[in-house]
Structure 1
Amino acid sequence: MATLKLEIVTPEEKIYSEDVEMVTLPGSEGELGVYPKHVPLLTTLVPGELRVLKNGRETAMAIGEGFVEVRADAVSVLTDMALESEKIDIAAAEAAVERAKAAMKEDQTPEQVAAIQASLQKALAQLHVKHRRHHG
Structure 2
Amino acid sequence: MATSSSLRVLRRFLAPARLLAVPRRGLADAEASSGSTFPLTFSGPHSAFYNSAPVAQVDVPATSGNFGIRPNHVPVLAVLKPGVVTVMEDTKQSKYFVSSGTVTVNGDASVQIIAEEAAPLDHFDIQAARQGLEQCQQRTSSSSSDEDKTEAMIGAEVYEALVKALE
Which bin holds the TM-score, normalised by the shorter protein?
A: 0.7 to 0.9
Within a 5 Å distance, the mapping from 1:1-136 to structure 2 comes to 2-17=36-51, 18-71=53-106, 72-131=108-167
Write 1 or 2 for the structure with the bigger share of strand.
1
What TM-score, normalized to structure 2? 0.70
How far, CA to CA, are the matches of 2:116 and 2:144 in structure 1?
23
The 8 Å contact of residues 76 and 104 in structure 2, kept in 1 or not, is answered as yes
Root-mean-square deviation (Å): 1.8
SS in 2 for 1:83: strand
Q: TM-score, normalised by structure 1?
A: 0.83
**1:56 Cα deviation after fit:** 4.2
Residues matched between the structures, number: 131
* Ranges of 4+ aligned residues in structure 1 off by more than 4 Å: none
Q: Which amino acid aligns with 1:42?
A: L
Evaluate the alpha carbon distance shift between residue 121 and residue 6 of structure 1 in structure 2; reply closer, same or farther with a 3 A threshold. farther
- Which one has a larger percent helix, Structure 1 or Structure 2? 2
- What secondary structure sits across from 1:27 in the alignment? coil
1: CA distance between counterparts of 2:135 and 2:125?
Answer: 15
Structure 2 CA distance for aligned equivalents of residues 125 and 92 of structure 1: 13
Contact 1:48 1:125 survives alignment (8 Å): yes
Q: Which runs of 5+ in 1 are unaligned?
A: 132-136
Contact 1:3 1:73 in 2 (8 A): no
User: What SS is found at the alignment partner of 2:54?
Assistant: strand
**Structure 2: gaps spanning 5 or more residues:** 1-34
Offset of residue 11 of structure 1: 1.9
Per the TM alignment, residue 94 of structure 1 is displaced from its structure 2 partner at its CA by: 1.4
CA distance in structure 1 between the partners assigned to 2:49 and 2:148 by the alignment:
28
- Structure of greater relative contact order (alpha carbons < 8 Å, 6+ residues apart): 1
Tell me the CA shift for residue 117 of structure 1.
2.1
Q: Is the 8 A contact 1:15 1:82 kept in 2?
A: no
Mapped to 2, the partners of 1:73 and 1:41 lie a distance apart of 11
